[in-house]
Structure 1
Amino acid sequence: MESVTSGLSRRSILRCVGGVAAGTLAASLAITQEGTAAAAAPSSERFDLTDGSTEWFREILLNETRIMQSFAFDNTNKHLYTAQLIGGGISLPGETQTYTGADRSRNGDLCITRLDWQGNIIGRMYLKGFGHGVSIGVEPSGGGAYLWTETDSVPDSQNDGYGTKVARFKFVNGIVIQPDSYRVTTFDPVPGSDHNTVAVDPVNNRLVHRYRTSASVWSFSLYDLASFKAGTFTPLATVAQPSVLTGVTFQGYTSMGQYLYTLDGTAYTYDSSGNQTSSSTTYLTSVDWNTGDVFERRLSNAGQSLFYREPEGLAVQIPDITNPAAARLFLGFGSEASLSDTDKKASFYYKDLLV
């Protein structure tokens, strides 16, 4: 998770390397925002956020015990990739000591788990010094995939590491990599920015870059994926983060066609006796790339029967790669069984009504 009100802590960037159940209405349709946009994205259908959500997986285990931060799909090979911060007490190959969970958060150390579409774990790799994992992207390649993540992590005022650049690397099972690895291609589309994250539109082969340029200025830029890979950082569109997302707990984003989708919300909380002290709120928002305006914002009740329910990640799945019109908008949740069984599990729900 990521608070959009956290203080800025950044370093100078000197180089560029070419490389639900139907929800309750939370805001009316076609909300006017002060968001700005440049250039244009071709018109397309959008996901109807009032559509009910279908459960895909409920409370499956990942490689790490900490909460899932984000996920993305390899729609060609039918794989699911998830990102988590590494847990405390683990010593990775090449390390001479164990680290606490706080150490891992500060350094931005992530575990990427690969699963098949039956929920079975089929691989993992570790990223040291990359970031917080609020969003990741996947680019299929043959029988495997390249991953897009943040990199060159720097701690913020809360001592959580966030990326200052963008990375692309091939998923290789069982390895540990750092930002300076020969396996990693680093990109610096907005020098001096922090809290860099990325997502991929798998239908239109576009990359979304979210970043912060000051303590209160957050933006999203949309790129042609091939052009970005070639080091051409000319956005198809750039929008300011809408004001309805100010002060919320930002939990993820994705894009398909003309629309950017964001996820925000918090988890249920309990007292020491197990009595619920607050509800879990999850909001989905769609933003028009052409105007920067919020089109729709809805409260989601997907997964509301989970004991612990924290929204964590958005992604687009194409169940049949030959039929992009059957795309699904997926919401992810981290959960735990009880106050005493706190190992985090992952649950996934989707909407598939395009209008």
Structure 2
Amino acid sequence: MEHNSRTSLTRRGLLRTATGVGLAAFGVGYGAASAAASVGMTSRFDLSQPSYDLFRDKNLHSNRVQQSFAFDSVNKRLFVAAKRLDSPESAGDLCISQLDFAGNYVSYMHLNGFGHGVAFGVRPVGSTSNLWIETDANGNGYGTKLAFIGYNPGTTVDAASQGFGKFQPISGATEYTCSIDPVYNRMIVRYHKDGAKHIAVYELADTDKGDFSSPVAMFTPPAIAGTPQGYTLYGSYMYFITGDGYSTSNPDPGNTYITSININTGAIAQGPTLTKAGSTLVYREPEGLAIYRTDAGESRLFLGFASGDEGDRRSSIFYKNALV
């Protein structure tokens, strides 16, 4: 078993940096507040506007279907999560591939027993890219906690390791995933409780300390038809993608839809809106959303797709940049 000893914000490091914050805020199972302040309104992406290519059909370390992706905006890295080759779905074994922004493969890290990889975030600390990602997979292969773990190329980490932080932000919740808004510096957490999915949003200034006690928004999202394939956050809007891979019953242009949701009200702001991004891809299954702001200051909503033939799945990523 190996883990990244370079990162300064393991669970122990998080506790050390949390000056003035009660220790209860870091305990597994600490309950979030029942009410939350509203988030100031921001612009949102116009989902009806065209999408543009970042890259198409790029190789990952695992040639299985990608599940999600996330950016390190500081160190200019892209990470893509997929299931490990020859590992059963229920095991929760993930392969994280690092790519450059042209889609060229750089390195990998294996995370055994972590989860399904529906969504995750990256939080840089200096030159280290730290993953906020689900861990401790249940019998269905979905994570029951959130992990804060440094990306260490070429290594394998087991979920049972004590070398990284683990958190259960919501009392009574049984499954967790998360995504990060690097523009407005917030984390969105999707969790399963009382038979349904719910949303909580936190300031990164708090989650950086391991403190999940003060969400700035909490709501139960509206029912949206289709297979859930990922989500992310930008300002005061959550973005949710649904759809399935191409098949005889789901031909081009497919059934991939994106929906934006106001996190203050929990109401749909736009959508579901059909996207034809990458419509000519082979297979084309929607897999993941992420936010990135360019050095020139342009905010982008990125959409991921698994593409390629079975046994040789590839990563394809596109973006929207029109704000309203």
Fold equivalence (TM over 0.5): yes
The structure 1 residue matched to 2:81, chosen from 69, 80, 83, is 83
The structure 2 residue matched to 1:150, chosen from 114, 126, 134, is 134
Shift in Å at residue 342 of structure 1? 3.6
Question: 1:342, 1:37 → 2: CA distance?
Answer: 47
Which residue identity lines up with residue 116 of structure 1 in the other structure?
D
Q: 1:226 maps to what in 2?
A: 205
Cα deviation 1:41-78 (Å, max 9, x = unaligned): 11111111111000110100100011000000111111
Shift in Å at residue 127 of structure 1? 0.5
Q: 1:179 maps to what in 2?
A: 159
CA 1:179/1:226 → structure 2, altered by over 3 Å: closer, same or farther?
A: farther
Shift in Å at residue 17 of structure 1? 4.2
Residues 244 and 286, structure 2, Cα contact 8 Å, conserved in 1: yes
Which residue identity lines up with residue 152 of structure 1 in the other structure?
D
Q: How many residues align?
A: 292
* Corresponding residue SS for 1:226: helix
Q: 1:94 maps to what in 2?
A: none
Q: Which deviates more, 184-193 or 199-208? A: 184-193
Cα deviation 1:115-153 (Å, max 9, x = unaligned): 111222111111011100000101122222110100111
Residues 117 and 133, structure 2, Cα contact 8 Å, conserved in 1: yes
The structure 2 residue matched to 1:292, chosen from 266, 280, 296, is 266
Pairs within 5 Å for 1:342-353: 342-353=311-322
Which residue identity lines up with residue 37 of structure 2 in the other structure?
A
Question: 1:207, 1:182 → 2: CA distance?
Answer: 23
RMSD between aligned residues: 1.9
Pairs within 5 Å for 1:47-58: 47-58=45-56
Residues 121 and 132, structure 2, Cα contact 8 Å, conserved in 1: yes
CA 1:59/1:37 → structure 2, altered by over 3 Å: closer, same or farther?
A: farther
Structure 2 unaligned residues grouped into runs of 5+: 1-25
Residues 66 and 85, structure 1, Cα contact 8 Å, conserved in 2: yes
Cα deviation 1:169-190 (Å, max 9, x = unaligned): 1111111112232431011101
Residues 36 and 217, structure 2, Cα contact 8 Å, conserved in 1: yes
Pairs within 5 Å for 1:58-77: 58-77=56-75
* Corresponding residue SS for 2:205: helix
Q: 2:111 maps to what in 1?
A: 127
- Moved runs in structure 1, 4+ residues, more than 4 A? none
Q: Which deviates more, 344-353 or 36-45? A: 36-45
Cα deviation 1:178-209 (Å, max 9, x = unaligned): 22324310111013323310100001211110
Question: 1:115, 1:166 → 2: CA distance?
Answer: 23
Q: 2:245 maps to what in 1?
A: 267
Cα deviation 1:200-250 (Å, max 9, x = unaligned): 0001211110011033x211110011212323322100121212x2x5210
Residues 18 and 231, structure 1, Cα contact 8 Å, conserved in 2: no
Shift in Å at residue 277 of structure 1? 3.4
Residue 241 (1) aligns with residue 221 (2): yes
Residues 18 and 186, structure 1, Cα contact 8 Å, conserved in 2: no
Structure 1 unaligned residues grouped into runs of 5+: 1-14, 20-35, 89-100, 270-275
The structure 2 residue matched to 1:336, chosen from 308, 318, 322, is 308
Pairs within 5 Å for 1:244-323: 245=224, 247-269=225-247, 276-279=248-251, 280-297=254-271, 298-320=273-295, 323=296
Cα deviation 1:11-65 (Å, max 9, x = unaligned): xxxx93499xxxxxxxxxxxxxxxx984211111111111100011010010001
TM-score (norm 1): 0.78
Residues 199 and 209, structure 1, Cα contact 8 Å, conserved in 2: yes
* Corresponding residue SS for 1:39: coil
Residue 212 (1) aligns with residue 184 (2): no
Residues 305 and 315, structure 2, Cα contact 8 Å, conserved in 1: yes
TM-score (norm 2): 0.86
Shift in Å at residue 314 of structure 1? 0.0
Which residue identity lines up with residue 225 of structure 1 in the other structure?
L
Residues 284 and 306, structure 2, Cα contact 8 Å, conserved in 1: yes
Residues 18 and 230, structure 1, Cα contact 8 Å, conserved in 2: no
Shift in Å at residue 319 of structure 1? 2.0
Question: 1:67, 1:295 → 2: CA distance?
Answer: 30
Residues 113 and 136, structure 2, Cα contact 8 Å, conserved in 1: yes
Question: 1:134, 1:37 → 2: CA distance?
Answer: 26
Shift in Å at residue 336 of structure 1? 1.5
* Corresponding residue SS for 1:106: helix
Question: 1:145, 1:278 → 2: CA distance?
Answer: 37
Residues 308 and 334, structure 1, Cα contact 8 Å, conserved in 2: yes
